[in-house]
Amino acid sequence: MYIYILILALAMVSALCLTRKRVQPKLYLAFWMVGLAFFVGLSDMLGGYDRYIYGEVFDSIADQTRVGVPLGEYEYLGHDNEIGYQYFNILFSFITANRYIFILCETLIIYFILYLSLKNYLSNQAVFILLFLGLFFFFTFTYIREILAVAVVGLSYKYILERKFIKFFALFVVAVFIHNSTVVFFLFYFIPIRKYSKTTVVVIAILLLLVGLSPVPRLLFMQYGSLSNDARIEQNLDAMGFRLEYLIEAVFFLFVILNNYDKLGKNQGELVFLNASFVFCFILLLFVQSVNGGRLSWFFIMGILVTLSNLYGNMSRPYRALIVSVSLFLYFRILFAWGMFLYPYKTFLTNGHREGDRVFQKYEYDLNYDRDKFYR
């Protein structure tokens, strides 16, 4: 666990000591993105069972590549309608047959795309890293396919701002073919880029919360599951229940933003990310009774990250302390909740597995990897 505390401590020192200078260099952001990418990418199947699922899918495709299966005849263990991720796997199967190398490369690509998406919109990279650690970092360990789609969508903010629909739509389609939940992002292009009144924002938030407390979100999930043929959606319907953390997060972010509203929306770029922040909160409220509905908000999480990090320098001291405190709380909440999914930290550069790793014991499909991480 100590290595995670060290990472957070470094981010805090950066945020608290360097923000007064309003750190500008893109090199700072690049340094953190590269460091976190290797930290996540080199980890030995940490984060939960999803990594084993993606590893098995990739190994199956790599085996087919080895024996020369024609491109149109691959048997894919994942979801047939997400062909973008299928071909992503196939492409890398010509480079490596090893699941660890594949996941490392995918993680590096995710963080590189995130860097490209954000580098021109941040005025305070130090605070951004602190917020990123609290809100998004741990999810990059395990939900790698959806996070890849989120990263690709991140590139489209530029074209939303420039009103270039064709380029936006091209990136949107790529992301949908990676993870079909990206469909929630499409309508964001058509939201007018302007500053909405506080009253409008609050009324919409209350209405969506009321809808979220009704059976409507369940019906939406049922419809989405039928359209996507995603069995996981239907499985999660039985696990729906009130998510207090969604409500608290949404209310907190709306509170901070609306109480500093006069400092925001100075240009079109700020407005795009500001509106994305509101959509992020709205989705949390709409799916306040859903176990996984909150994951749909990830496609708008860049709005929260950019808006709050850029706003930080213009906030009063109590609000700054609040942002730092909440980032710390969110970081440790996941760190302790996930527990053995994350620590003790181990890389795939050494053979074997962590003692008492229940995820390994249940989901490891190829024990050859345990004896030799690079046997294939």
CA 126 – CA 19 distance, rounded (Å): 7
In this predicted structure, what is the pLDDT of residue 100? Answer: 98
* Backbone CA torsion sign across 194, 199, 201, 204: negative
Say whether 169 sits in a helix, a strand or coil: helix
In this predicted structure, what is the pLDDT of residue 229? Answer: 46
Nearest alpha carbon to residue 5 among 331, 330, 325: 331
In this predicted structure, what is the pLDDT of residue 159? Answer: 97
Alpha helix stretches (DSSP H) within the chain: 2-18, 26-41, 50-66, 83-93, 99-118, 125-135, 139-142, 144-155, 157-162, 165-178, 198-212, 216-228, 231-237, 244-258, 268-286, 301-311, 317-338, 358-363, 368-371
Structural domain boundaries in the chain:
26-343
Q: Mark the ranges of the chain whose per-residue pLDDT is less than 50.
A: 226-229, 231-238
In this predicted structure, what is the pLDDT of residue 294? Answer: 82
In this predicted structure, what is the pLDDT of residue 76? Answer: 82
Q: State the pTM of this model.
A: 0.93
In this predicted structure, what is the pLDDT of residue 79? Answer: 67
In this predicted structure, what is the pLDDT of residue 22? Answer: 54
Q: Do 243 and 322 touch, CB atoms closer than 8 A?
A: no
Residues 6+ positions from 273 with CB-CB distance below 8 Å: 121, 157, 302, 303, 306, 307, 310
In this predicted structure, what is the pLDDT of residue 240? Answer: 59
In this predicted structure, what is the pLDDT of residue 243? Answer: 85
Beta bridge partners of 209: none
Distances, alpha carbon 341 to alpha carbons 142, 199, 346, in Å: 10, 42, 11
In this predicted structure, what is the pLDDT of residue 315? Answer: 92
